[in-house]
Structure 1
Amino acid sequence: MNTTNYSLGLLLLRIGFGIMMLTHGIPKLMQLISGNFEFGDPIGLGGPISLILAVIGEVVCPILVIIGFKARWASVPIIITMAVAAFVVHASDPLGTKELAILYLVAFIAIALLGSGKYSIDRK
């Protein structure tokens, strides 16, 4: 196996999905910063706690994944967030509605299994 291509593939996976996840998380971060804590409560923790957890799973952890710092561990909150989005929040929705959450779920499971690759903070 060509390790350079493998590591470039992991880099592309980390950066691509990490940046796309940020497009969902940054609006939630702005909502949190503005003091608006209204948010769904899909798992019974309360809206403000759910919002904070969503910001961690959609902003903080994707940044760690993008730079390759503890990407396997940083993927876990993202995986949990996307599993809740796909199978709790959108449980009764058609597949087309929950498809994006499932796509992110699968990508971050792959990152959790494969790690950061050689082009990461962890390898420096």
Structure 2
Amino acid sequence: MALPQPARRRRSPAQDDDGGQPATRPARRSGTGRRHGVPGAATAMRAAVEQLAVLLGRRPESVSSLRPTEEGWEAVVEVLELERIPDTTSVMGSYTVTLDEEGELISYERTRRYSRGMIDRPDG
């Protein structure tokens, strides 16, 4: 008596020739404007904070801006750089963080240093 043959797996068009893993595709926009494969704003914000904390060795205090880009996300993250007493004289740093489409940090740059108690003045 013959043994049954195992079922053959059909390959989808999204699989490449290297072991049947899905091929990388560019991000597509859904009907809501969100790009497929790109993390949402909340996920991107957490990724920016967590990855910058690892690189700087300091825990960021806040994210002051977050915007989508063609490549992923760009965030401005506020970090306590030098703690002083009183707290309003502590030195803060603003870092611009760039994330790729997978939410991985690809660059960061400190763009500003200021005292915590400093208030931005309107131009004019």
TM-score, normalised with respect to structure 2: 0.23
The structure carrying a bigger helix percent of its residues is 1
The structure carrying a bigger strand percent of its residues is 2
Larger Rg: 2
TM-score, normalised with respect to structure 1: 0.23
